[in-house]
Structure 1
């Protein structure tokens, strides 16, 4: 069956719907392909965090933030491995995307939190599944977006003379489809956390991590572009995120409470990392520990500081579900988690001394998270332990793109007619990532890709 459209979007997550809606609002006809029966992908499974700076919510809560500070944080996290041009694009366009979401009716949870990689509270929280549903509804309302589910993209098609990508071949419920895209193809197909072969090739250090991601995240878009000579970025930067309970199958994004003042210890009862680092780096450190696991240790005040509106800080629900181990004394807590009592007691006592002195000579921790928040002692019962390992929620790497979201080949040239957005894009995160920047880049880069395609 032959089909034709202005812009073809592959993938029905946040990046895909943001691209489709932006393109439709600019007058383009859009065809979307989703290989599963339901849309949402990893976006709908995420923690619902978006990293925005300079918002009205921040101003109302007295938080001083702007695009420049956001960009500095992103560069520091990237450790020199991230593409400065992509960071600039994110910083320059994030506030308009926040306003765009609000204009379309998106409601954010009232509280703001500081989390991984943030110098000030800038986690703007949404229900992620509702966000995708909202964008999908807005796409339908335009009358310009057609969504085909249960339809998998198979191969990109390009003009033999010009080399321009002109469409792709797909497989739907009724058979093969040959789709022509007059203005371009946008790959918004996610990462490859569900592809064991690609993970073994690019992330062997994550062998013992838990893998969480959209069921369809098998690297389809990456492989199709790769076949046309697309360059790749950050493939060596795949790391697990710290804070996943090893046996919890109910919460895809378990609490990451080290950012509220907890410490992380291994099976020997010893700290093993600066807990204020990006949880991608924490996950890397955790996987080097015995059995690839550890415990987050906290006390009553830290437990009370959780935020039930933010999934990654919803301690209360995890406590009700029996995921925390609770004890009236540190000695009893050590016995329950089967770590040496004397070692755990010394670890906590040493840490409390470091807090009092304002200096952590063991690991150099200075804040609760990144450059934000004063450290707090762990001293008030009851005490809690949260078993934690690393989970690969996303692959944080992928296709090389330019600031307009054109896919770039191995010779540094554009692959005409091919754009990308969301998790399939590499080069933005570098060594680590900021809470909210993955879902944020899906929306921001999706809209930019759409603008580029419409202008083609």
Structure 2
């Protein structure tokens, strides 16, 4: 399908209505259909994909075939502890437990549908390598194809205007297509419409600290699903924890597709315009993103050598260093001094910073900023000594907001008084409470698949009147 537009008449009544065409929406629609529900899935953009297809495509799973083949020892307990630690224990433990309890079966479910994962990587917040890369467009197409076989009706270019509630229960939504509004009745409704990374007004309201951050993510992520739920009194959580992602190239360039790179996780360092390091580069990239916003103009340089460049992986956008070099984004020089001069950094200070970083590694002295590993608790740091040297101008970008609706273990949306809103479920980025004050790489795509599948099953059960 490739995310192509899907048209046709909109059915007036279904068992389950799913709003959103990213991974959470596709997983919810398919899971509901597998449980026998008649499903309508709508996406307001002309094509499906949302932020899912703009992401690095990494899912955080533990105990997988890929880890076994690579000799990686992981466990559900370690995954659980890493998520809580990365979120500074501000996460809702019920949702972390839910993720960890269902991650293995969701992984198997996706693989049974034909999803394939590439070489493992360690990244932000991970004690062991558990970032599983995949082709997200292909993954969505596999889910959509199977859903179509089960009768799911997918419509693109259809926007949900507002939810319809009668006698305290959400009974569907008013949809708009080609300028015409139509009411669709549904036994249950699943909101999987993403966050509000593309809505500057909401970012200014909830995250004024992101004033210097760029905006990216799905073009439709403007918070309309949140607003529809808010209108019914839905509660929200984690708005103080909205953070940007470090590593995006902050100037217009054809080689930047919205993800940036993380050379710091393969051995590089981050320096500001004064040539000084300012953060432990092994920290989660949203923590590094905050530290970067505190630098002059909210920008810095990822500085690395040829050894780091050789760790490039074209299948994972955030680690595709050679692709950045070939596109002309990277600045290359034979010496650190030449690189600093070419990038407008303080030459003497940059050279001194790299020399001191290398010296401490060689002598085994404690890193002045506390860096011990390449990323999280994985990988040994090494001196940057192999020319040529490379620099990547880096900003902070809001790719996703990771705050949102309060839900329970059945993914039912709750109102501000703590009561479930009957008939309304949510999954994906629109859900708050899971990530807490930080973000472990791979848990966004992971959460979309896991919670989307669970929300679809819960919605189907509620629509049929059978409790689950």
Alignment TM-score, normalising by the size of structure 1: 0.97
Aligned residues: 451
SS at match of 1:380: coil
How far apart are 1:358 and its partner, in Å? Answer: 3.8
Match of 2:338 among 319, 324, 332: 332
Deviations 1:293-322 (CA, angstroms, capped at 9, x unpaired):
000111111111122221110111111011
Residue by residue over 1:60-98, the C-alpha shift from the partner in whole angstroms, topping out at 9 and shown as x without a partner, is: 110001111111110001102111111111111111111
* Structure 2 counterpart SS, 1:132: helix
Matches within 5 A, 1:25-424: 25-109=34-118, 111-143=119-151, 145-159=152-166, 161=167, 163-173=168-178, 175-182=180-187, 184-247=188-251, 248-249=253-254, 250-424=256-430
- Deviation of residue 361 (structure 1)? 4.4
- Checking the alignment, whether the CA contact within 8 Å between 1:355 and 1:376 is kept in structure 2 is yes
For the 8 Å contact 2:279–2:288, the answer to whether it is kept is yes
Larger deviation, residues 169-178 vs 208-217: 169-178
When residues 323 and 20 of structure 1 are mapped into structure 2, their CA distance, relative to the original with a 3 A threshold, is: same
In structure 2, what is the Cα distance between the partners aligned to 1:2 and 1:11?
17
Q: Which stretch of structure 1 is more off in the superposition, 363-372 or 241-250?
A: 241-250
Query: How far apart are 1:173 and its partner, in Å?
Result: 2.0
- Check whether the contact 2:14–2:38 (CA below 8 A) recurs between aligned residues: yes
Say if 2:444 is the partner of 1:444.
Answer: no
**CA distance in structure 2 between the aligned counterparts of 1:128 and 1:104, rounded to whole angstroms:** 13
Deviation, 1:127, is: 1.2
- Cα root mean square deviation, aligned: 1.2
Deviation digits for residues 346-401 of structure 1 (CA, Å, limit 9, x no counterpart): 11111112223445442111111111111111111111111100111101111111
Instruction: Report the 3-state secondary structure (helix = DSSP H, G, I; strand = E; otherwise coil) of the residue aligned with 2:380.
Output: coil
Deviation, 1:2, is: 7.3
What do residues 202-261 of structure 1 show as CA deviations (whole Å, max 9, x unaligned)? Answer: 111111111111111111110111111111111111111000011234422121110001
Between the aligned partners of 2:393 and 2:146, the Cα distance in structure 1 is 41
| 3-state SS, counterpart of residue 51 of structure 2 | helix
Structure 2: gaps of 5 or more residues: 1-9, 463-468
Q: Does 1:21 align with 2:30?
A: yes
TM-score (norm 2): 0.94
